[in-house]
Structure 1
Amino acid sequence: MEFVDAFQSSQIGQELADELARPFDRSQNHPAALTTSKYGVSRKELLKSCIAREILLMKRNSFAYVFKSVQLLFLCVIATTVFLRSKMHRDSIMDGDIFMGALFFTELVMMFNSFSEISMTIDKLPVFYKQRDLLFFPAWAYALPTCILKILISFMEVSIWVFVNYYATGFDPNATRFFKQYLLLLLLTTQMASSQFRLMAALSRNLIIANTFGFFAFLVILSMGGFILSRGSSWIN
């Protein structure tokens, strides 16, 4: 303490105190010396960089997407041969059951095909949290490119299924109903399942927990969908 008091009472200590007491003149500062924004570039550049990064990751993981597409095509051929007919009859309850069975199997395959999002998302989480904490980018700049590019992947997967399966199964040849099934039913189902599994992966951050909750949510959707268990079941009421 005596050393500190001696330094402050010396000529050098008094000059240092006088210099620190004067307010800093910002006009003499170089404009690049201090940052004025939270991130180094604009939001537009951040989004473009994250999109390019996600495209690069998809190219590196191209085997997984090709394998999913081949698997989907294989299941589509199986479903087409099971329900193969040029025109589906619409005269009885049994015909309606066949209609619903074909649609239900299609929905089931699309949801199972999105289940791989859990493991792919969890693998990227450690890098995401580290880069976000270091202020490389905000969370929305990371999540938005993933959602946009997954929509394009969903278009491709749904196209593989619908263009092979729709008319071979004997659904209505009307083009309007064809695109309704393509855009409204399967595409939205794929996006719902993909987003749901990515959410569970982000919330749990653990593969075992995410798989458990993913299968539980899958079970709830199937059981409450009205096909496996009819709405009139007494235990639901």
Structure 2
Amino acid sequence: MCSDTLVGNETRRGISGSEKKRLTTGEMLVGPAKAFFMDEISTGLDRCTTYQICKFMRQMVHIMDGQIVYQGPTECVLEFFEYMGFKCPERKGIADFLQEGFNSFHIAQQLESDLRVPYERSVAHHHALVTEKIIQITITSTIAMTVFFRKEMHAGDLQGGSKFLGALFYSLINVTFNDPIFISGIWICITYYTIGFAAAAGRFFRQFLAFISIHQMALSLYRFIAAVGRTLVIANTLGTFTMLIIFVLGGFIVAKGK
């Protein structure tokens, strides 16, 4: 909202202090620097603004495949690196010591080793989430299989066709609200033939392709809502409204008199 506002100086009013800190952070990010040393970035800022800046820096580090080496009080930074095995020589400032350290390949290797533990924990957490999703979709697809079992659904009549359409709509809704792409494969493998869709292999793969396409559309839609909303409250409101439209208009319509 201040893209067209001058930064300002001692004689000309410009952007606010918190906006100047954001601008300085942006200038650092677009430069060639490989390490950022940010001291007292919260001075003069309220807690909400400070939280937004720190959260943004974390997101940028994640997107750019970087690492947060230290985040905490400035008076503890030297103690932290000495605990990690890096001794600051006498008659050398902390800033010079850290700058030389980050230009050293040995320190980079050591930091990589020290960061391996939290990385492995995050990978284990991701695997746990994937396992949970697999169990969840397996149970849900089994329930769908029993609800729309082929014995009760006959192709060629209106009542059976309505049930097939209901099974398709329920399947697409489940694929839309689940994140990993392999969810589509698990769902269709369990439900396709047990529900009684066309037995031809080509029809099977067409439905699989349709589910994958719907899944990709849903991911793009969620990212679009997040980009438009920008805040959690607005994004949740837009998301609820969008899901309402999908539920109302995403089903099937039977013409009158048929």
Residue in structure 1 matching 2:234, options 209, 226, 235: 209
* Contact 2:175–2:211 under 8 Å retained in 1: yes
In the alignment, does 2:173 pair up with 1:108? yes
CA contact (8 A) 1:85 1:169 kept: yes
Partner in structure 2 of residue 94 of structure 1:
159
Contact between 2:138 and 2:186, CA under 8 Å: does it hold in 1?
Answer: yes
SS in 2 for 1:213: helix
TM-score computed with the length of structure 1 as normaliser: 0.53
Amino acid at match of 1:176: G
- The CA distance in 2 between the partners of 1:231 and 1:171, in whole Å, is 20
How many Å apart are 1:78 and its aligned residue? 0.4
Amino acid at match of 1:199: F
Which residue of the partner structure matches residue 45 of structure 1? Answer: none
How far 1:92 sits from its partner (Å)?
1.0
Check whether the contact 2:149–2:195 (CA below 8 A) recurs between aligned residues: yes
- Counterpart AA for 2:172: E
* Separation (CA, whole Å) in 2 of partners of 1:210 and 1:58: 28
Q: Does structure 1 residue 220 correspond to structure 2 residue 231?
A: no
Matched, 1:64 2:129: yes
Summarize the alignment of residues 112-151 of structure 1 with structure 2, pairs less than 5 Å apart: 112-114=177-179
Query: CA RMSD for the aligned pairs?
Result: 3.4
Aligned-partner SS, 2:150: coil
Instruction: Flag the structure with larger Rg.
Output: 1
Q: Which residue of 2 aligns with 1:85?
A: 150
Q: Following the alignment from structure 1 to structure 2, what is the Cα–Cα distance between the partners of residues 97 and 174?
A: 21
Q: Deviations over 1:199-227 (max 9, x none)?
A: 21233233332222112111112222252
- Structure 2 unaligned blocks of 5 or more: 1-29, 35-62, 67-118
Letter in 2 for 1:187: I
In structure 2, the residue matched to 1:27 is none
C-alpha spacing 1:92/1:86, structure 2 compared with 1 (3 Å): closer
**What is the identity, as a one-letter code, of the residue corresponding to 1:178?**
F
- Identity percentage of aligned residues: 34
User: How big is the shift at 1:50?
Assistant: 4.3
8 A Cα contact 1:88 1:171, kept in partner: no
1:60 deviation in Å?
4.1
Contact (CA 8 Å) 2:169, 2:251: kept in 1 or not? no
Give the CA deviation at 1:180: 0.2
* 2:193 pairs with one of 151, 162, 167: 167
Q: How many Å separate the matches in 1 of 2:184 and 2:197?
A: 16
Provide Cα deviations, 1:27-61, integer angstroms capped at 9, x if missing partner: xxxxxxxxxx95579xxxxxx9749xxx9866543
Provide the rounded CA distance (Å) in 2 between the counterparts of 1:49 and 1:207: 23
Return the match for 2:203 from 172, 177, 184.
177
Q: Name the one with the larger helix percent.
A: 1
Query: What's the TM-score once normalised by structure 2's chain length?
Result: 0.49
Task: Give CA-to-partner distance per residue, 1:6-33, whole Å, 9 cap, x none.
Answer: xxxxxxxxxxxxxxxxxxxxxxxxxxxx
Counterpart code for 1:85: R
> What CA distance in whole angstroms lies between the structure 1 residues aligned with 2:225 and 2:123?
21
Offset, 1:165: 0.8
